Structure 1
Amino acid sequence: MASPRVSVGRLAWVRWAADVMPWDSSEVWVARYSAGRRLADPVRVAGGADESAFQPQWGPDGWLFYLSDRTGWWNLYRWRDGRTEAVAPMDAECATAPWESGYANYTFLPDGRIAMTVQRGPAQELVLVSADGVVSLPVAYTSIKPFLAVVGDRIAVIGASPARAQEIVLVSTDGAGGVEVIRQGPDQQSGDVSVPELMTVGQVTALVYPPSGDARPAPVIVRPHAGPTYHSDLRLDGEVQFFTSRGFAVADVDYRGSTGYGRPFRKALDGQWGLVDVADCQAVAQYLIDTGLALPGAVLISGASAGGYTALRAACEDGPFALAVARSAIVDPRQWTTTAPRFQRPHAEILAAPDAAVRADQVRRPVLLIHGVRDEVAPIDDVTALADGLRERGLLVGMLALDGVGHYVSGSALATALDAELDAYRGVLKDAELPPS
């Protein structure tokens, strides 16, 4: 259960079954709420087995607002006394997959308008919804965190773009595009910044960052995002810039299963994890080779957490990848159901394909493993056992165990990990007698 919201004499909340994820199946409920904290006459407002409904908020007009993907897209609805209305129907995602219960993809302005995020593919925008329709606000951000709030007649936003780090700003709602920066991000990039080109390969979108100088063809790092029910962020990424400034192109892949493309696309990974995501990464890599953007023999794949699992599965095939880097990787999704946080344990059960575990005898490409010794989400034991098997087969580039580090690698540990990754890539180029980056 999540998101309790109280109005006068009423309580709304979200619930979902223990064996599903709320972005697959969840419900919004309402009940009468008395001063003695007793609930009466509960009513299911929205949601069900094939519908994800969440983020209830009581509007200033007494209606209950919520987000639902009943049409295949997370859109905004309102409900009152059994009557339901679509507020702003569109073929776009107006919600973020509910990894946390405090998200706010929409909020109410004093004049009755609604501020809301809208996502199409990896790109997000900020819009105003009123009786006259939907109007985009002219802000430069393409990545907006789901924590909108109203301050007077302005909207507080955490926004970023491919050339601008995340920052907290107040956005005016008069249409003039006024933005007051409250706190600037600590990682503002100076000098040359690689800005991605959005490419479509079949039904898959990739953010392709050129190397400094835009040399073509170039060695390419293909990156499946973590999550896996998430998407590639269209914002300044220090890891991407680390590699592009050293002569590598980077391709972030929104493989099937990603958010931002509607429910059918998001559900396409169910029972297919390690299969369709790998196929999508391979297709992007091959497209970059065929179009002369990627240097044949120097196409690499790297991922963290769930993305690390995709990278390992890719190393089990004869595709275009010369090397796989797996950081904080999940090795066996079935085993992961016992170690993942309780909230996420059904995730692997829903996604995992048969014979989902990565075994050393399946691997066909060299692998670099990077893992935190104190990782409690994906414990290091599975990775250590995989490393031992790869070492025996001559396919282990290295096993970097980060002391005192958990599942999320940052700070000096991240710098160490990136240096190890770069060394591994340069080793591939040297062994293939390709120009160094």
Structure 2
Amino acid sequence: MDEEAESLIGGIDVEAVPVEPDSAEPGASFDWLASTGVGLSWVETQPLTGRTIVVRADPARIAGYAVRDESVGSSLHAYGGMPYLFTTSGALVAVNAATGQLSAPSGRTSDAFTYGDLAGGDGQVLVVREHDRGDQLIALAPASGRLRVLLATDGFLASPRVHEDRLAWMQWASDVMPWDSCEIWIADYSPVQGLRRPRRVAGGPTESAIQPHWGADGTLYFMSDRSGWWNLYRWRDGRAEAVAPMPAECATAPWESSYANYLLLPGQRVAMTVQSGPEQHLAVVEPDGGSRMIQTPYTSIKPYLAALGDRVALIGASPTRASEIALVATDGSDEIEVIRRSTARGGAPTASAPEQLHVRADGATTTVLFYSPTSAEDGGPPPLIVRPHAGPTYQNELRLDREIQFFTSRGFAVAEVDYRGSTGYGRAFRKALDGNWGRLDVEDCRNAALYLIASGRVRSDAVFISGASAGGYTALKAVCDDGPFTLAVARSAIVDPQRWRTTAPRFQRPHATILASATSPVVAEQVRRSVLLVHGAADQVAPIGDVDGLAAALQQRGLLADLVRFDGVGHYLSGSAQQTALDAELAAYRKALRRMGVAMPA
């Protein structure tokens, strides 16, 4: 359990970065919000430079920092973990997004590991690092640069949390996903002796226990879905008890490490997010177990809650309000102070806000976010774009989405579908897609479209489907059957689920195996409608070769709308590549509509 391996790091690698004090750049995004005791810190993108920096806002000033000439960010477990930490002396320890290496006051690492999930601990920094054989939990002495391996496993580790002489962490095996099976462990801990007497306190083969956090009195809090919903529990005196049981999700599927969907407030109160379907709220749980929803303008809250006194700091958004950092009062006044927002305030007055629909078919209820167009050529029903989300273990977020507004402002209706397998609806719904990928998700997207057609909200002859990554596979499978889809758009699509089992990142390979257990590749001979393929040539998750082969076969059958390739681009499209992809998608829709004699707004 405790390894004696030690090493040293050397060199200094952190620089100050100018930031505007009043607001962030247009299009900036915010992540990894944390409390510094007297202020807040967060990760902020700078679209003009393309960098991601750490911003620290104290009562006296606001300042930006970054790894020299690079961005701050972590690709731990492929999707990331807390990439920075301010030590008690105010020094910054951060992860270089380009290399995955750790930069500390004494210098930087230079090894084969990827670092992330930083946390404070008794004057040291606790860090999780990963290589292709497993994870290690290490303790870093920032001043000397000494690294000590505390724990190693061929599986996964996350969220180390220290309280006095005890350490808690998340742990799961190499062949499972943390939202299916995850454990909370604790051990006696000291910087000198390391870990002693490790023991499991929650989680198991059919339980996902996540987000450990110590209370001031030594009580250990965590989220668990043992009831079928991720709810808050506390462990003390050798037993666990529910804090605020409810039929709602109070945690986010742990795609990244160090999520914080709840925090402990003074007076033994707890603030936490509560999600029902796509909508999230902020709640305060009182010491007697009673809870109260706080009224905020936000319907989407990122899983990075932080405390500043008795106020909750959060990153919130809504369909008409862009993402912003705010302080929310918990004293009953529900007052909100916005700390940081982009200079592009909220959404345009004509932004389309969704209607939440519930479609019942095939023995299941599917939630759909339906966006009406904000411009139209005439008063008739508009064409429809159905969008299955990526993941697929995720959900559609109820917040301002640039891509959706791009299409609604050009006369299209958009329907986002939380198909079976989505999060936000409990464990059983989340696991319904296991072994059913390419079937249940397709059925739910089809039924959503048929419902909107039958209700007269959209045209019956102009229904498109568009998805990315796993959602791209859903879109491709959807046009392997007759109706109602006229054309499919597949961005960074997984074409061969069986190959994805080997190309997926180490973290996600069990996910791919579970989902692909009864799936088949997309074969051109089965496709019945036109397809637009958009793909990065450097995509390692969904290899471009699969897409090239599919495109060639579709071309021979006259079903290839286009293949848009981006040299040097990986699995995720951003910046100019993302805009080019949107323009190509719009062009494909308009071409299909012109064939029907349908005119669309310019």
Q: 2:281 aligns with which of 125, 130, 135?
A: 125
> Which residue type is aligned with residue 373 of structure 2?
P
SS at match of 2:460: strand
- Structure 2 CA distance for aligned equivalents of residues 421 and 257 of structure 1: 26
Q: Is the 8 A contact 1:116 1:127 kept in 2?
A: yes
Q: 1:376 aligns with which of 531, 540, 548?
A: 540
Q: 1:155 aligns with which of 309, 312, 331?
A: 312
- Structure 2 CA distance for aligned equivalents of residues 296 and 186 of structure 1: 40
Q: Is the 8 A contact 1:274 1:352 kept in 2?
A: no
In structure 1, what is the equivalent of residue 259 of structure 2?
A: 103
In structure 2, what is the equivalent of residue 236 of structure 1?
A: 400
Change (3 A) 1:201 1:16: same
In structure 1, what is the equivalent of residue 559 of structure 2?
A: 395
- Structure 1 CA distance for aligned equivalents of residues 387 and 186 of structure 2: 42
Report which of the two has the higher share of helix.
1
Q: Is the 8 A contact 1:289 1:295 kept in 2?
A: yes
In structure 2, what is the equivalent of residue 226 of structure 1?
A: 390
Q: 1:251 aligns with which of 399, 404, 415?
A: 415
Q: Which has the larger radius of gyration?
A: 2
Matched residue count: 437
Q: Is the 8 A contact 2:504 2:512 kept in 1?
A: no
- Structure 2 CA distance for aligned equivalents of residues 276 and 91 of structure 1: 24
In structure 1, what is the equivalent of residue 368 of structure 2?
A: 206
Change (3 A) 1:381 1:83: same
C-alpha displacement of 1:136: 0.8
Once the two structures are overlaid, the 10-residue window that deviates more, 226-235 or 37-46, is 37-46
In structure 1, what is the equivalent of residue 302 of structure 2?
A: 145
SS at match of 2:416: strand
> What's the TM-score once normalised by structure 2's chain length?
0.71
**Superposition map of 1:19-418 within 5 A:** 19-132=175-288, 133-185=290-342, 187=344, 188-202=346-360, 203-213=365-375, 215-418=379-582
1:360-393 deviation per Cα after TM superposition (whole angstroms, max 9, x unaligned): 1111110000011222222211111111111111
Q: Is the 8 A contact 2:166 2:188 kept in 1?
A: yes
SS at match of 2:303: coil
Q: How well do the aligned residues superpose, as a CA RMSD in angstroms?
A: 1.3
C-alpha displacement of 1:216: 4.6
- Structure 1 CA distance for aligned equivalents of residues 313 and 414 of structure 2: 32
> What's the TM-score once normalised by structure 1's chain length?
0.97
- Structure 1 CA distance for aligned equivalents of residues 589 and 517 of structure 2: 30
Change (3 A) 1:351 1:213: same
- Structure 1 CA distance for aligned equivalents of residues 540 and 325 of structure 2: 31
Mind listing any 5+ residue stretches in structure 1 that lack a counterpart? none
- Structure 1 CA distance for aligned equivalents of residues 315 and 342 of structure 2: 10
Change (3 A) 1:403 1:35: closer
- Structure 2 CA distance for aligned equivalents of residues 333 and 183 of structure 1: 41
- Structure 1 CA distance for aligned equivalents of residues 448 and 181 of structure 2: 31
C-alpha displacement of 1:353: 4.6
Identity %: 63
C-alpha displacement of 1:189: 2.5
SS at match of 1:206: strand
Change (3 A) 1:105 1:355: closer
Once the two structures are overlaid, the 10-residue window that deviates more, 31-40 or 391-400, is 31-40
Report which of the two has the higher share of strand.
2
> Which residue type is aligned with residue 366 of structure 2?
V
In structure 1, what is the equivalent of residue 585 of structure 2?
A: 421
